[in-house]
């Protein structure tokens, strides 16, 4: 993996994490949204650490899948984008509905969408032009 590719993909991953943290800070701290989710019979608060970990896991998993596909197929972007969109849609079906209240559900949906869109648009485009697949 070239340095430009590594730096580009790391920048996309970091960007997704930063956007998620800023959204969390604005909506939770500034707007007063109580970001809580139901987990079974209990309710738990979502912390900024949980937002960072979730965004980082999504970024690293997407990056890893894209790297594997780039080594195995000439249509890596098509396959990766299809899988990434499916995962984003699944996360929207499972994550936000568990929020406690409308504000939490909307905030969770925004977090999932923003991280997903940044990764879907950014990771494949971070590959240098001469190395596109």
Which of 20, 19, 4 is closest to 126 using CA atoms?
4
**What is the model's pLDDT at position 45?**
93
- Which pTM does this prediction carry? 0.89
Confidence of residue 129 (pLDDT cuts 50, 70, 90): low
pLDDT of residue 1: 55
- Bridge partner residues of 37 (DSSP): 44, 99
Whether the per-residue pLDDT at 131 is higher than 60: the answer is no
Give the list of residues 6+ apart from residue 15 with CB closer than 8 angstroms, or none: 118, 122
Average pLDDT of the segment spanning 110-130: 88
Q: Which residues pair with 42 in a beta bridge?
A: 39
Kindly report, residue by residue over 10-40, the tens digit of the pLDDT: 999 999 999 999 999 999 888 889 899 998 8
Q: Is the pLDDT of residue 133 over 70?
A: no
Q: Are 15 and 118 in contact (CB under 8 A)?
A: yes
Position 3 scores a pLDDT of 82
Q: Over the stretch 58-84, which tens digit does the pLDDT of each residue have? A: 999 999 999 999 999 889 999 999 999
pLDDT of residue 91: 96
**101 φ/ψ angles, rounded to the nearest 5 degrees:** 95, 160
Average pLDDT value for the chain: 91
């Amino acid at each position: 993996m070239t340095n430009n590719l590594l730096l580009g993909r790391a920048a996309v991953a970091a960007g997704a994490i930063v956007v998620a943290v800023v959204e969390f800070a604005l909506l939770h701290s500034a707007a007063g949204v109580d970001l809580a989710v139901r987990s079974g019979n209990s309710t738990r608060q979502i912390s900024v650490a949980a937002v960072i970990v979730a965004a980082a896991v999504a970024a690293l998993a997407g990056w890893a899948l894209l790297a594997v596909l780039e080594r195995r197929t000439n249509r890596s972007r098509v396959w990766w984008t299809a899988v990434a969109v499916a995962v984003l849609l699944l996360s929207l079906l499972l994550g936000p509905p568990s929020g406690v209240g409308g504000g939490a559900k909307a905030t969770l949906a925004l977090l999932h969408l923003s991280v997903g869109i940044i990764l879907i648009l950014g990771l494949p485009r971070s590959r240098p032009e001469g190395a596109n697949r």
